[in-house]
Chain A
Amino acid sequence: LETGPCGLSKEIGISKEEALEALQVVRQECHGDAARTAGGSGATRKCTALELLEEEQAQGFIITFCSALDNILGGGVQLTKITEICGAPGVGKTQLCMQLAVDVQIPECFGGVAGEAVFIDTEGSFMVDRVVDIATACVQHCQLIAEAHREEDHLKALETFTLESILSHIYYFRCRDYIELLAQVYLLPDFLSEHSKVRLVVVDGIAFPFRHDFEDLSLRTRLLNGLAQQLIIIANDHKSAVVLTNQMTTRIGQSQSTLVPALGESWGHAATVRLIFHWDNSQRLATLYKSPSQKESTIPYHITSHGFRDVQPPAVTQNAEDTEMNPRKRPRREEEK
């Protein structure tokens, strides 16, 4: 399997076409075996809505460390969904992406999904020194919790949850134009099969490579739609959250102009969840603009040297630590009637 068709044809002395066909048969056999043992995640299957609901509720969330944002999202950035973050330059989109690339790795005993992250950077704004700050703060936070609770599994998890380990599990791809981005997304499914612990794919930003170079806007729309389709499949098949950042652009109306997310109306359908980050004087705000299950709301957030945070840190009591770090252990509260 590893020799490749050219090598194989030379070695055995068969034509290249025969070699390719032989390899295809062998590969199908292997995949068939794997599919039978794994239960065939790619195959179509019938299930009831109840099964889907249960599956969805069991899906993990990646927390953002800003509890207000996690709350309006229903727990955090959801796996198997595409979340889009729109906003003007400097408002914090890349900061949240870097925070999520760290938070996805939080061990399960601390309320995380213990995953790895793929970070596709089209703008060159991924500054590793900043990720180091964020990761260090996250490790410290977990250490504080471990000290407060003194449980075996917490201490054991901390042995492998270190700065080096976090950095080594962020897989970074730099795409310099839309062709490289398209190619990278074609290769993602195989990469994710090889790195099955990945639970987050970030594309920062999706708009940048598509906003110049396109005389033919219909080509752009078609390519973006194709990209969205592939990302939806990836999110589902690999149980990963896909997070995209988008720019804002000015829509010039009859009497006034407004800021809207870039890439046009049809792109608006690509993401399941859409967040818009914006300013109100010097306060940063996040608005949940589109979500299938949560209502539209706006919350303030803060960006500190440690990363993405709430505006007022929650009261530092044991209970607060619990609810912040262990969403699964959060007791069910009565919703407003």
Chain B
Amino acid sequence: MDWDQFDLNPKVIAALKKADIKSIKEILNLSGADLQRLMKLSSADIQCLLKTVSYALRRNSMLTALQLYQDKDHLTSQHQKLSLGCSVLDNLLKGGIPLVGITELAGESSAGKTQISLQLCLCVQYPYKYGGLESGAVYICTEDVFPSKRLQQLIDQQHKLRADVPAEIIQKIKFGNSIFVEHAADLDTFHNCITKRISLLLTRGMVRLVVIDSIAALFRCEFGVSDSVMKARYLQTFGAQLHSLSTRFRTPIMCINQKLLSAVVGKNLSCFLYSVVGNRVSPALGITWANQLLMRLMVSRISQPEPSPGAASHHTGSVRTLRVVFAPHLPPSFCYYTVTLEGVKGIK
């Protein structure tokens, strides 16, 4: 760190160099008293130093809420979201998936989580005008093999799913080329994947969506009940790394989580966060992971499709529910959807 470029008293600069302090982080990690002792300066000088380096780090960092609200630039605006490719589903989420933060998609098996994720990998490639981010996606498989056949089916049927997009635009997009598939069956491989491979793809602007299918599988085998502290630490580290990537590159991270539903659940949404019996709590992928999330969505199959007059006859496949469990900008709500040949479609 070149201290000379800062607006500091030369004696402070000399003291910094003498104390071998190399970064702003080192300065802020020390208390005022420690700094005084280390650099042998007065408390007024230290206060001045702290303010100067803080200013260097944080100048021009303020925005008013009005500026946030009025920002319509797709590169910075909060209003920009990643569409799910279906207007009903987008309406549930008030536009789609937020670009900064980790969104979790949880639910029992075969409820449609992979289907929704594949659909997102295609949606992200559309132009901004059609709810996409004009970039590719990286899909990390942690247990199953990547469903390439199904992906090909979806690609072939895009013109049917996305009737809102002109055919010539759809034809121009080479969907298969921009989906990068990674396999990571254990924690070390996963860590490597996030820190090296995904960072690279993001830095080059080749992807604007990361899907992890699934996060639970990584932790299932390797940790017994007694290792919950270790597990919590890994979860926190991974969560922080993903969060940091998401913030730096304005890229949504979609984590698929398999919840083991017990008979207790029913309408009890709180059970997905932690199960409480009196004061006792069972730690699960539960609260440590949930603390890292911006938004939690849940999918489930309902045993019998709701008999609604007229509409039911079109939906021979089972009807499923997409529910918002929590999100800072959405009320707890849900909508129905089906999985058809061309993809996931909401039912009004």
Contact in complex: B328, A95 (CB < 8 Å): yes
A88 at the interface (CB under 8 A from B): yes
Query: Which residues of B49-65 have CB atoms within 8 Å of chain A's CB atoms?
Result: 50-51, 53-55, 57-58, 61-65
Binary flags per residue of B277-301, CB closer than 8 Å to A gives 1, else 0:
0011111000110110110100000
* CA A182 to CA B25, docked complex, whole Å: 10
Q: Is the CB of B290 within 8 A of A88?
A: yes
Complex Cα–Cα for A96 and B316 (A): 44
Is B244 touching A176 in the complex (CB atoms < 8 A)? yes
Q: Are A250 and B281 in contact (CB under 8 A)?
A: yes
Q: How far is the CA of A127 from the CA of B64 in the complex (A)?
A: 13
Residues from chain B with a CB closer than 8 A to the CB of A74 are none
8 Å CB contact of A212 from B11, B239, B293, B329: B239
Complex alpha-carbon distance, A211 and B296, angstroms: 21
The answer to whether A248 and B287 touch (CB under 8 A), given A124-B294, A222-B31, is: yes
Partner of B247, one of A94, A176, A248, A259: A176
Q: Report how far A125 CA is from B327 CA in the complex, Å.
A: 8
Q: Is the CB of B329 within 8 A of A169?
A: no
A222 vs B31: C-alpha distance when bound (angstroms): 8
Contact, CB under 8 Å: B54 / A184: yes
Cα A130 to Cα B94 with chains together (Å): 11
Q: Give chain B nearest CB distance to A89 CB in angstroms.
A: 4
Interface positions, chain A 252-266, Cβ under 8 Å from B, are: 252, 256-259
| A147: Cβ under 8 A from any B Cβ | no
Chain B hits for A279, CB < 8 A: 270, 273, 276
Q: What residues on B are CB-neighbors of A90 within 8 Å?
A: 273, 290, 296, 325-327
Question: Smallest CB-CB separation from B238: which chain A residue?
Answer: A212
A258–B279 contact, CB under 8 A? Answer: yes
Contacts of A169 in B (CB 8 A): 64
Q: Which chain A residue has the least Cβ–Cβ distance from B228? A: A252
Tell me the complex Cα distance, A176–B58, Å. 11
Can you list, as one digit per residue, whether each of A297-309 has a CB less than 8 Å from chain B (1) or not (0)? 0000001010000
Contacts of A180 in B (CB 8 A): 57-58
B24, B57, B329: the one contacting A127 at CB < 8 Å is: B329
Contact B328 A88 (CB under 8 A): no
Closest 4 CB pairs of A and B: A90-B326, A127-B329, A183-B54, A167-B66
Shortest C-beta distance, B96 to chain A (Å), equals: 13
- List A contacts of B58 (CB < 8 A): 173, 180, 183-184, 187
With a cutoff of 8 Å between Cβ atoms, the chain A residues found around residue B294 in the complex are: 123-125
Decide: A128 near B24, CB < 8 A? Known: A176-B247, A187-B55, A212-B237: no
* Binary flags per residue of B230-270, CB closer than 8 Å to A gives 1, else 0: 00100011011001100100000000000000000001111
Is B269 a contact partner of A282 (Cβ separation < 8 A)? yes
**Given known A249-B288, A257-B280, A279-B270, contact A170–B64 (CB-CB < 8 A):** yes
The interface centre, meaning the residue of B55, B66, B94, B296 with most chain A CB atoms within 10 A of its CB, is B66
Complex CA–CA separation, A130 to B326 (angstroms): 14
Does B159 touch A at the CB level, under 8 Å? no
CA distance A247 to B293 in the complex (A): 12
CB within 8 Å for A252 and B7 given contacts A129-B79, A186-B51, A219-B29? no
Question: A289 contacts the other chain (Cβ, under 8 Å)?
Answer: no
A-B contact pairs, 16 of them (CB 8 A): A16-B9, A17-B9, A17-B10, A90-B296, A125-B294, A166-B65, A167-B64, A169-B64, A176-B244, A179-B24, A183-B54, A183-B57, A184-B61, A208-B291, A211-B291, A258-B280
- Contacting residues of chain A (28-65) with chain B, CB-CB under 8 angstroms: none
Q: Which of A89, A126, A176 contacts B326, CB < 8 Å?
A: A89
Picked from A167, A226, A248, the residue with its CB within 8 Å of the CB of B65 is: A167
In the complex, chain A residues whose CB is within 8 Å of the CB of B276: 259, 279
A171 at the interface (CB under 8 A from B): yes
A211-B283 CB under 8 A given contacts A125-B328, A172-B68, A186-B50: no
Whose C-beta in chain A lies nearest to the C-beta of B12?
Answer: A20
In the assembled complex, A217 has its CB within 8 A of some CB on chain B: no
Most chain B Cβ neighbours within 10 Å, of A6, A172, A191, A303? A172
Contacting pair B240 A213 (CB below 8 A): yes
The chain A residue sitting closest to B273, CB to CB, is A88
List 16 extra interface pairs beyond A124-B101, A179-B29, CB under 8 A.
Answer: A6-B7, A15-B10, A17-B9, A90-B273, A90-B326, A124-B100, A124-B243, A126-B328, A172-B68, A173-B58, A176-B244, A183-B54, A212-B239, A252-B228, A257-B283, A258-B281
Q: Which residues of A contact B229 (CB under 8 A)?
A: 252
A168 at the B interface (CB under 8 A) = yes
B290 CB contacts on chain A under 8 angstroms: 88-90
Given the interface pairs A172-B68, A180-B58, the reply to whether A282 lies near B239 with Cβ below 8 Å is no
B61 near A282 (CB under 8 angstroms)?
no
Bound CA span A124–B270, Å: 23
Contacts of A167 in B (CB 8 A): 64-66, 68-69
Q: Which residues of A contact B205 (CB under 8 A)?
A: none
Q: Which residues of A contact B69 (CB under 8 A)?
A: 128-129, 131-132, 167
Would you call A179 and B25 a contact (CB within 8 A)? yes
B274 on the interface (CB 8 Å rule)?
A: yes
Q: Which of A59-84 contact B (CB under 8 A)?
A: none
Q: Tell me if A4 counts as interface (CB < 8 A to partner B).
A: yes
Name B57's contact: one of A130, A179, A191, A252 (CB within 8 Å).
Answer: A179
Beta-carbon contact of B329 and A130 below 8 Å: yes
Contact with B along A172-203 (1 / 0, CB 8 A): 11101101101110110011000000000000
B28 proximal to A (CB < 8 A): yes
**How far in angstroms is the closest Cβ of chain A from B270?**
4
Whether A172 contacts B51 by the Cβ 8 Å rule is no
A256 to B237, CA, bound (A): 25
Chain B residues closer than 8 Å to A125, beta-carbon distance? 101, 294, 328
Contact at A257–B7, with CB atoms within 8 Å? no
Per the 8 Å Cβ criterion, residues 112-127 of A in contact with B are 119, 123-127
Distance (whole angstroms) from the CB of B43 to the closest CB of chain A: 14
Known contacts: A88-B290, A249-B288, A305-B331. The answer to whether A170 contacts B61 by CB under 8 A is no
Does B78 have its Cβ within 8 Å of any Cβ on chain A?
yes
Contacts A17-B10, A183-B28, A222-B31; A127 near B78 (Cβ below 8 A): yes
